[in-house]
Amino acid sequence: MVKKKKANIGTQRSAYLFILPSAIILAVFVFVPLIASFIISLLNIDVFMRNVSFAGLANFKKLITDTRAFNDTFNTIYFTVLEVPLQIITALIISTFVANNTRLNQIFRTIFYLPFICSLTAIGIVFSMLLDPNMGWLPYLLNMVGLGGIAFLKDAYLAMPTLIVISVWKNFGYTMTLLTAAIIDVPGYLYEAAEIDGAGYWKKFMKITVPGIWPTICFCIVTNIIASLQTFDLPYIMTKGGPDFHTETIVQYIYDRGFRTAPYSLGYASAISVYLFLIIAIITFIFRKFILNRREEANAW
Amino acid sequence: MKRLRKVTSVILAGLLAAAMLTSCSGNKTSSTSSTSGGTSSDSGKNQTITFWNVFTGSDGDILREIVSKYNSENKDGVKIEMTIMPNDQFQQKLPAAIATNTAPDMVLFGVEYMASYVKSGSLEDISDFWDTMGVDKSNFYDNVVKQCQVDGKQYGIPMQYNVSYLYWNKDLFKAAGLDPESPPKTLDELASYAVKLTIPSKKQYGLLLPIGVTYPQFLWANGGDVDDPSTNKNLLNSDANLKTLEWMRDLAVNKKVTPKGITGSEADTMFQNGQAAMYMSGPWQINGLRTQGINFGVTSVPKGSAGAYSPAGGCAFEIPAGTSAEKKAAAYKFMKYWLSDEILKTWSKKNGFPVWSKSLEQQDDIKNDAVLSAITEATKIGRSYNLGYSLASQIDNDAIIPMFDSIINGSATPQHALKQASDKLDTILSSAS
Amino acid sequence: MVNSRKITAFKIIKVAICLIVAVTVIVPILWLFVSSFKDDREVIAYPPKFFPINWTLMQYQNVNDSVPILSFTKNSVIFAGLVTLISLLFDSMSGYAFARMNFKGKELLFGIILVTMMVPFQVVMTPLYIEIFKFKLLNTYAGLILPRATSAFGIYMMRSFFVSLPKSLEESARIDGCREFRIYWSIMMPLCKPALLTLGIFHFMNNWNDLLYPLMLTSSTDMSTLASGLATLVGNKVIKYGPTLAATMISILPILVLYIFAQKYFTAGISTTGEK
């Protein structure tokens, strides 16, 4: 008993040492700029940082009546609500298909991972050229089978769904890799036992696989939500927020206010990012506490 | 322990923020690049100056050639270290660099960005360039020199100049029964030609109208305007403008002379592979068109009842605030080199950009170059669209571009679009200090 | 999962679906690949052709002539490589601590770490630039690598992975008086090879492809990474598709090679039943 207690105290001290390198780096290089940006939201300051004055909550007051911010909030949430489930479910299903370590599965896994390692600029150019209704190869093909006229990224209502599909296309490979690794870790004997009991595929999936990889699934869901709410590169490269702001996300607006449009107000841009941060924090918190935290012993997220 | 760490971080951040805000002035520290010790302060002997610009792509290649030739051949004792980056990243990086005194000694970017930099005191006044270097200011087109000035002071030395031109595909003209050597001269002709040249079955379009850009040339041709920078006045909501917008909408939405929602670069591509008959763009189309073997012509944008005008633009060399006097003197030497007939001629000939040096204009091989002389002629109708106006990007991004977008996309009626843009413009102008 | 030898209808459906997905994955990338061998006219030709009529290396030639590919690649390798290695170490150490050790403030600290993921880079970029400037680390490898030497995402992921390992693994070692670091190094690390590999590739790829971050923090060409170097080919007013496609292929190649090699380790059996 005494040995265990000693071990515990030693563990505590070691724990702090273990997280020390990360803590220092995060504190200095991530946390400090972050706090700085929150402070900036209370200032009147532009990118040139010359005439700085205290603004108090003025930037936030302006944000409350900003219709474009609302439009972008809607777009961002629209994107997230569709992209995350679509990606996770697709990845989950595919990973159960390719979890076995057969040669064929290994080839499939390598292929599915490919889109993830391409840079977004490349993906942007490739899909812009492939989907262009006037010059693209895909609409050209569709036209030949009579399905011409689909404007994909140029259509106000199709643009966001198209972006969502492209995002899923790009990212599902990574999620799939994580889930596959987790599935492989589920002890085989559990399945054997279930099969002896006569469990079918669906039962095995829901009662063994899913609970077995639940921490990983939760991780994927949470990180994907956080990332999706911050989507910038994909719409910026492919549609620049168009047509008519239908695909503009919050981070695009932040970037626009701070760096593209006079008066290059870093203060206002930071205020929007505080607003976004609150959205992300609240949604993540809700997910953690109420939706995903079903099992205490698995320390699930 | 963690709480202490957290508190320390917050204090650190606060201090940092405070330090940031108070440190943005003073002399430049020597934290610039370190290759060949450009720190000699003895009057201009072997100065190395750092130079940032946004000339990516093939323009950049030509610029690189010119700079390296200068480096190896010049007798000024100046060496240029050039860094090229995309415009987006450049506009993010340069302000922060100037604020921390880590900016380069010389920069080159579009004149439309100058106003904001000048307003925040981020550029050096270089009005003394002409006299110091003995360069005759009057040798260059007056409007070119003026568009690099803000409030009468010279903040940029012109590097290139252009307006928007009308390109047309001579082969497509011929195929439609139009005279390939006669481009449309008036807006009415433009419209009727465009309709004639639009053949949906062949996916051929008469006149490309990309979104994400502005069309002041159309507004001006009919006697309308956007604003008056000198008085901060909103001129948008006028009958003339309404007529213009209705005309544009008719062409884009009803007559479908342009594909829906194309971007500038997509329009470039379509014109370059012969899918469109007419397109308004800058001189940068020329090289691409030549590569693709398009039989093209270039002329000035058509005129309306109030005349023909084309929005002017260009790039200029600037000196960020805080550059030392020696580096500035060295930079001046390169700028003088650039303004020589020889270099301006190289640039114009290789890029198709118009000539704006009177001495160069007189040269025979300039006069005999068909495209160059057409372009130079078409440049004479250049007019400033909010150049040197610090609110320019906000006016465009928040009011005018969305207005034209909705007209071309057909997502709003001209009345509605005009009113919305005008209201937005009022908000923007009223916030002007 | 159980490896059944039967060829059921279900198995056929599985393979069929995988094939369809594989096709949707391959086609755009194949298009990218073959288009990088088209000359300028063919790249944007209409009607569009999938395969080039005249295969040419001119785009690659162009890229090679325009930018010092080798120097950029070297910088990218150093940057992405070091960030990955250091980050793997720090992330896994922290992840392990959060997952398997108990200490005061664990939940709070982890919450704070999560929070750092919730602010977009565009916003912290300018303060970070100023901070690196004040540390006199602008335009240095240290300045590039230090801020990325650990990441909230990595810590979160490693924690997730460690949490899913059986609990009893280190208890016995602890009771025997083993020092924590030894437990971490000798027992935990070998077990998380796939997680490390996955995270490693993720970090490497993100930093390899990152454009804005290295561009902000470096100012001289000899420090430029591949991504920023290749971005200068794209063109300001007119996009040059040909060289951009070739540049993309050049950029993808190293990562692809890395990934194919890593596949071997992924699939080398990662069962945790060994300890039991």
Best probe of the C interface among A22, A252, A257, by most C CBs < 10 A, is A22
- C 168-187 residues inside an 8 A Cβ radius of A: 174-175, 177, 179-181, 184
Q: Could you report the predicted ipTM of this complex, rounded to two decimals?
A: 0.85
**CB pair distance less than 8 Å for B60 and C240:** no
Q: Which chain B residues are closer than 8 Å to A261 by Cβ? A: 393-394, 397-398
Q: Which of A18, A136, A251 sits opposite C96 (nearest CB)?
A: A18
B179 and B72, same structural domain? no
Q: Which of C138, C212, C234 sits opposite B57 (nearest CB)?
A: C234
B252 and B394, same structural domain? yes
C178 and C119, same structural domain? yes
Quote the tokens at residue B387.
């150049």
C38 and C115, same structural domain? no
**CB pair distance less than 8 Å for B56 and C236:** yes
**CB pair distance less than 8 Å for B292 and C112:** no
The tally of domains found in chain B comes to 2
The tens digit of pLDDT for each residue in B99-157 reads: 888 999 999 999 999 999 999 999 999 999 999 999 999 999 988 999 999 988 999 99
Task: Report the C-alpha dihedral over residues B124, B125, B129, B130, rounded to 10 degrees.
Answer: 160
Does B289 reside within a domain? yes
The residue of chain C with its CA nearest to that of A35 is C124
B84 and B190, same structural domain? no
A29 touching chain B per CB within 8 A = no
Whole-number Cα distances in Å, A55 to A43, A254, A266: 5, 18, 12
Q: Which chain A residues are closer than 8 Å to B270 by Cβ? A: 134-135
Best probe of the A interface among C5, C8, C13, C21, by most A CBs < 10 A, is C21
B134 and B106, same structural domain? yes
Mean of all residue pLDDT scores within chain B = 87
The tally of domains found in chain C comes to 2
B361 and B223, same structural domain? no
The residue of chain C with its CA nearest to that of B85 is C232
List, in sequence order, the alpha helices (H) in C54-188.
58-66, 69-100, 106-115, 121-134, 141-145, 152-163, 168-175, 180-182
The tens digit of pLDDT for each residue in A24-80 reads: 999 999 999 999 999 999 999 988 988 899 999 999 999 999 999 999 999 999 999
**CB pair distance less than 8 Å for A174 and C31:** no
B193 and B68, same structural domain? no
The tens digit of pLDDT for each residue in C173-186 reads: 777 767 777 777 77
Q: Which chain C residues are closer than 8 Å to B59 by Cβ? A: 235-237
The helix/strand/coil state of A277 is: helix
Q: In angstroms, what separates the C-alpha of C226 from chain B's closest C-alpha?
A: 12
Residues with Cβ within 8 Å of B269's Cβ and at least 6 positions away in sequence, in order, are: A135, C44, C239, C241
**CB pair distance less than 8 Å for C120 and A37:** no
Average pLDDT over residues A110-114: 89
Does C211 reside within a domain? yes
* pTM across the whole model: 0.88
CATH no. for A66-300: 1.10.3720.10
Number of cross-chain residue pairs from A and B with Cβ atoms under 8 Å apart: 122
Q: Which of B21, B261, B405 sits opposite A52 (nearest CB)?
A: B21
Residue with token string 């695909």: A247
The tens digit of pLDDT for each residue in C69-102 reads: 888 889 999 999 999 999 999 999 999 888 888 8
C50 and C89, same structural domain? no
**CB pair distance less than 8 Å for A213 and C90:** no
Which pLDDT belongs to residue B227? 94
| Sign, CA torsion C59/C60/C62/C67 | positive
Does C248 reside within a domain? yes
Q: Which chain C residues are closer than 8 Å to B65 by Cβ? A: none
C259 touching chain A per CB within 8 A = yes
B321 and B206, same structural domain? no
C82 and C47, same structural domain? no
Q: What is the DSSP letter of A246?
A: T
φ, ψ of residue A43 in degrees (nearest 5)? -120, 160
Does B26 reside within a domain? no
Best probe of the A interface among C164, C171, C232, C248, by most A CBs < 10 A, is C164
Which of these ranges, A77-86, B7-16, B215-224, has the smallest mean pLDDT?
A: B7-16
Higher pLDDT, C94 or C275: C94
Q: What percent of chain C has pLDDT over 70?
A: 90
Name the CA radius of gyration of chain B, rounded: 24
B284 touching chain C per CB within 8 A = yes
Does C60 reside within a domain? no
C218 and C97, same structural domain? yes
Average pLDDT over residues C35-44: 83
- CATH number of the domain residue B242 falls in: 3.40.190.10
- B 175-194 residues inside an 8 A Cβ radius of C: none
**CB pair distance less than 8 Å for C119 and A266:** no
B296 and B424, same structural domain? yes
B93 touching chain C per CB within 8 A = yes
B31 touching chain C per CB within 8 A = yes
Q: In angstroms, what separates the C-alpha of A229 from chain B's closest C-alpha?
A: 22
Does B10 reside within a domain? no
Does B147 reside within a domain? yes
Q: How far apart are the first and last CA of chain C?
A: 18
**CB pair distance less than 8 Å for B104 and C126:** no
Domains of chain A: which residue ranges?
A: 66-300
B212 touching chain C per CB within 8 A = no
Q: Which domain holds residue B174?
A: 165-311+387-431
Identify the H or E element spanning C18: helix C9-35
pLDDT bucket at B13, cuts 50 / 70 / 90: very low
- CATH number of the domain residue C245 falls in: 1.10.3720.10
Q: Which of C221, C224, C236 sits opposite B59 (nearest CB)?
A: C236
**CB pair distance less than 8 Å for C221 and B81:** yes
Which pLDDT belongs to residue A42? 95
Q: Which domain holds residue C23?
A: 9-55
Which pLDDT belongs to residue C197? 85
The tens digit of pLDDT for each residue in C231-269 reads: 777 766 667 778 888 888 888 888 888 877 777 666 554
φ, ψ of residue B409 in degrees (nearest 5)? -75, -20
**CB pair distance less than 8 Å for A110 and C99:** no
Q: Which chain C residues are closer than 8 Å to A7 by Cβ? A: 174-175, 177
C30 and C156, same structural domain? no
